[in-house]
Amino acid sequence: LGLSPQHAAVRVQRVKNQLDVGRTVVRALASDPRCPALEDLLGDWDGTPTPLWRKRIARHVRGCASCSDGSAGLVPAEGLLSGLALVVPLYDSGQQVAVAVASSAAPATA
C-alpha cells in the first residue's frame, strides 16, 4: 500500500472505530423495545441503510443513555476474529486460479 507504519495504524484505528459505530447502530436498531427517542428519529427513515442515517443513528446512540447501555456488552473488535483458524491456501503457481477464471469467463452455450 505504500503507507508508513504510523499511517497504517491510523487507518486501522479508523476502520475499527467505524466497525464499532456500525455494531452499536445495529444493536440499537435490533433492540426490543426500541428507545422512544430513536423511534421518533426513525419516523422518516425508509429502512435503506445510508451513511447519513448511520451518522444520525450513531449520534443518537452516543447521546442516549438507554441506547448506549445496549452496546456495553459488545466484544471488542480485535476479539471478533480471534476464534477463527488461519487457513493458508496451497501454492499452485496460479494454475488453478487461471483455469477457474478462464472457465468462468467462457460464454455459456445453450
For the stretch 5-57, pLDDT in tens is: 899 999 989 988 898 888 889 989 988 888 999 999 999 999 898 999 999 99
For the stretch 72-110, pLDDT in tens is: 677 777 777 676 666 666 666 556 666 665 655 555 554
Those residues with Cβ within 8 angstroms of residue 56's Cβ, 6 or more apart along the chain or in another chain: 41
**Residue 17 forms part of a structural domain:** yes
C-beta pairs of 73-76 under 8 Å, 24+ apart in sequence: 74/20, 74/23, 74/24, 74/27
Residue type, 21: V
Q: What is the pTM of this model?
A: 0.63
**Residue 108 forms part of a structural domain:** no
**Residue 96 forms part of a structural domain:** no
**Residue 23 forms part of a structural domain:** yes
